Amino acid sequence: MTTGNMCTKAVTTSAHRIFLINLTHPHLRTSSLLGRTAYKYPSDRSYIVSRALSFRIPACQFSPRRPITSPIARPHSSSSIMTTFYDLSATLPGGKPYPFSQLKGKVVLIVNVASQCGFTPQYKGLQALYEKYHEKGLEILGFPCNQFGGQEPGTDDEIATFCERNHGVTFPLMVKSDVNGDQSNEVYKWLKERKAGLLGLTRIKWNFEKFLIDKEGNVVHRWASTTRPEAIDKEVAKLLQ
């Protein structure tokens, strides 16, 4: 619909949210965008979108010579462009390096984990995947993180002991680190640049998000915390063929 110099667009997402977006004409001196979000059903929310999300979107460009660019898309940094998955490295408890060069030719599942989260029982599903496919070329790497609700408060040794005793975890766990923000570890900076999440946002939303990397070092899937390890079995098996 158009009114004066304003154009209004209504978009209904799969989550039954209705976005009403007003865009001013790009040739006016002042350009702005107002976004309003309404839920079709009051209860139609998930833990991921329970927090208010706000972001700015540039005014539409109507000139055919200037393509519209995504407001979410971000260019890779010059350093990340030159970095492949196998150039990365993480750190094991005790300070021992874990170079990703040893992962060449393997399928890799990377998960940010926590010991006191509602999704912590997923450890058992991850371990089951590891036992089922490790000899066929699957590696699983856990990255403990305390950024989400303070649900990973222990030391590296305490985390390892908890996982082994309670969930039988034998796949590698790295040192505790951040996965968002300026102090994010380099692995997660690289992963987020290669595969965006819900609504095109790159930041990790909660514990137990999952990245799946193929045998050539490409990020092929990213799953939310709610996706259980059992649900990705077929995708893992497909990449191992």
**CATH number of the domain enclosing 191:** 3.40.30.10
Query: What is the percentage of the chain residues whose pLDDT exceeds 90?
Result: 64
Residue 92 and residue 48 share a domain: no
Q: Residue 70 pLDDT > 70, yes or no?
A: no
60 annotated active-site: no
Residue 32 and residue 100 share a domain: no
pLDDT value at residue 30: 36
Residue 138 and residue 51 share a domain: no
Residue 229 and residue 197 share a domain: yes
Q: How many CB atoms lie within 10 A of CB 140?
A: 23
What's the domain count of the chain? 2
71 lies in a domain?
A: no
pLDDT value at residue 81: 54
75 lies in a domain?
A: no
Q: Residue 147 — pLDDT band, cuts 50, 70, 90?
A: very high
Tell me the C-alpha to C-alpha distance, in Å, between residue 220 and each of 46, 104, 122, 214.
24, 15, 21, 7
Q: Which of 7, 60, 117, 163 is catalytic?
A: 117
Domain range enclosing 16: 1-63
Residue where a domain stops, chosen among 63, 94, 116: 63
208 lies in a domain?
A: yes
Q: Whole-angstrom Cα distance, residue 14 to residue 88?
A: 36
